[in-house]
Amino acid sequence: MGNLVFADQRGRIADHPTLEMGGASGSDWVRVPDKELIALPEGARLFTMPGAHSVGWNTALCTFEAVKAVGRREALAVAAFLPPGYMRTHLPATFAPSATPYLPLWAYTAVGWRDGQFVTAAVRVDSMDHQEPWQYDDRTLLPLIERRLAVQPNNRVWHQIKRCATEYHCLCAKNGFYRRWEAPLPIAFACNADCVGCISLQPDGLVPASHERMAFAPTLEELCAVALPHVTEAEEGIVSFGQGCDGEPLLQGDLIEAVIRRVRAETDRGTIHLNTNGSLPRVVERLCQAGLDSIRVSLNSTQPDLYAAYYRPRHYGLADVIASIRTAKDLGCYTAINLLVFPGVSDREEEVEGLLRLVAETGLDLIQMKNLNIDPRRYLEGLPPRRGRAIGMRELLRTIRLEAPQIDIGYFNRPKEHFDRSFSRALVF
């Protein structure tokens, strides 16, 4: 088993000599089975959790126990943040003696120490290697940025993508400059939802947004000047509306439709993709008819009350989101959901049943398992009472495989060259 780890006030991490690392499923502390631990993947980061202590399992006393101090100083809990392609199976087990400010928007994951290395509670869900750390080197990126901006110095979309590549380290934005794989087309400055964990806008100021929402409406010319070279030149090129710095792209439906028609008038090459909250099925219909190749609709739950508690939608509801998924699939679009997963919530029996029902009713192609970036306490406090037993996150994956073997499980958007390929089939859950 992994040993519990904790940190001192200077962030120095140590492992506990006797306590086993704990994990959490929702607000319940649980032991993490040894076989569910993997070596901390390259590109992961470690965080301390101010105001919270690590909780571990005392095997002698058969009880959970918090590590509150290192010598005379307070000991802090430690969490891992996973790189793309991995789904966490357990939250960190923590104990906070008093109410503390909410933590920033990261997906906090249980971490421990075993056999001389850090281990974490996670599973790889996608074997596509486009976002591996070794694919990115800012020493080669920066000259490319200079070159692109020298050619189009007044294109605000390129300037926005530069900001995303260099300040937020968005890998899709970096791809835009490398002219390969998936690149963003930021387009929307407004949204019709108010997600508790929105990374581009936190109006109540409880935590900082990790991106600043873009503040302008691009023109058709600016967008096409980015999109056209990408789809015509990039290897397995995808241009994606709706990224971390965006609002909701469906609110810019007319402009997206114009971009699709302009690009498709020039070339059949490349994939035109939309990341969306799926709130406006009629707009989705128009975009599919214009030539949208693929769509990814985000949701945290198939239960209307859980969905509404997190998305806080304005003038639409979960029924519209499901209608968008169905419409896109019916019109021949490759259709994925971006399932914002959270241990102890997404793996509850009612959620699993709802997810399988959604798959059966819509025939969607891919479920992307995305760790929800939010302080676990903040998410759980905002949810209505949850029903049913949590079956475990790995069991959720196995159940999907068993009950809906036709659907792909993964993490990343697919270029159309790979619409019929599974990047998770060979992975063991």
- Indicate the residue among 105 and 141 with the shorter CB distance to ligand SF4: 105
Q: Under 8 Å CB-to-CB from 274, ≥6 apart: which residues? A: 240, 241, 242, 249, 250, 256, 284, 287, 292, 294, 295, 296
Give the nearest distance from C-beta 133 to ligand SF4 in angstroms: 25
Q: Which stretch binds ligand SF4 (CB under 6 A): 104-112, 195-203, 360-368, 381-389?
A: 195-203
Is residue 339 close enough to count as binding ligand SF4 by CB under 6 A?
no
Please give the Cα distance from 111 to 236 (Å, whole number): 35
Dihedral sign for Cα atoms in the order 25, 29, 34, 39: positive
Query: Which residue, chain included where needed, has tokens 């508790």?
Result: 196
E-state strands within 161-208: 180-185
Cα–Cα dist 390/26, whole Å: 9
C-alpha closest to that of 185 among 145, 217, 221, 157? 157
232 φ/ψ sector (left φ>0, alpha ψ -120 to 50, else beta): alpha
Q: CA–CA separation, 306 vs 303, rounded Å?
A: 5
Contact stretch for ligand SF4 (CB under 6 A) within 110-118, 165-173, 189-197, 265-273: 189-197
The window from 162-170, 178-186, 190-198, 327-335 that contacts ligand SF4 (CB under 6 A) reads 190-198
Summarize the chain as % helix, strand, coil (round to 5): 30, 25, 40
The DSSP letter of residue 390 is B
Three-state DSSP class for residue 181: strand
Q: Which is nearer to ligand SF4, 86 or 316 (CB)?
A: 316
Question: Is 247 an interacting residue with respect to ligand SF4 (CB under 6 A)?
Answer: yes
Handedness of CA 412, 183, 108, 9 (dihedral sign): positive
194 binds ligand SF4 per the rule CB under 6 A? yes
Q: Closer CB to ligand SF4, residue 190 or residue 360?
A: 190
Exactly one of 80, 105, 195, 366 binds ligand SF4 (CB under 6 A); which one? 195
Q: Which is nearer to ligand SF4, 194 or 395 (CB)?
A: 194
Q: Which is nearer to ligand SF4, 191 or 224 (CB)?
A: 191
Is 248 one of the binding residues for ligand SF4 (CB under 6 A)?
yes
Q: Is 303 in the site for ligand SF4 (CB under 6 A)?
A: no
Q: Closer CB to ligand SF4, residue 200 or residue 346?
A: 200
Stretch that binds ligand SF4, among 115-123, 193-201, 334-342, 384-392 (CB under 6 A): 193-201
User: Shortest gap between Cβ of 319 and ligand SF4 (angstroms)?
Assistant: 16
- The CA distances from residue 37 to 31, 67, 148, in Å, are 11, 21, 43
Q: In whole angstroms, how close is the CB of 338 to ligand SF4 at the nearest point?
A: 10
Closer residue to ligand SF4 (CB): 200 or 240: 200
Residue 191 within binding range of ligand SF4, rule CB under 6 A: yes
Q: What are the counts of helices (DSSP H) followed by strands (DSSP E) for the chain?
A: 11, 22
Q: Which of these segments, 100-108, 147-155, 192-200, 350-358, binds ligand SF4 (CB under 6 A)?
A: 192-200
x/- string (CB under 6 A) for ligand SF4, residues 255-294?
A: ----------------------x-----------------
222: left (phi over 0), alpha (psi -120 to 50) or beta: alpha
Spell out where 145-197 has E strands. Answer: 180-185
Instruction: Pick the binder of ligand SF4 from 48, 109, 175, 200 (CB under 6 A).
Output: 200
Q: How many residues bind ligand SF4 (CB under 6 A)?
A: 9
Among 193, 245, 251, 409, contact with ligand SF4 (rule: CB under 6 A): 193
State how far the Cα of 6 lies from the Cα of 76, in Å rounded to an integer. 6
Tell me the window of 186-194, 216-224, 321-329, 382-390 that interacts with ligand SF4 (CB under 6 A): 186-194
Which residue ranges make up the site for ligand SF4 (CB under 6 A)?
Answer: 191, 193-195, 198, 200, 247-248, 277
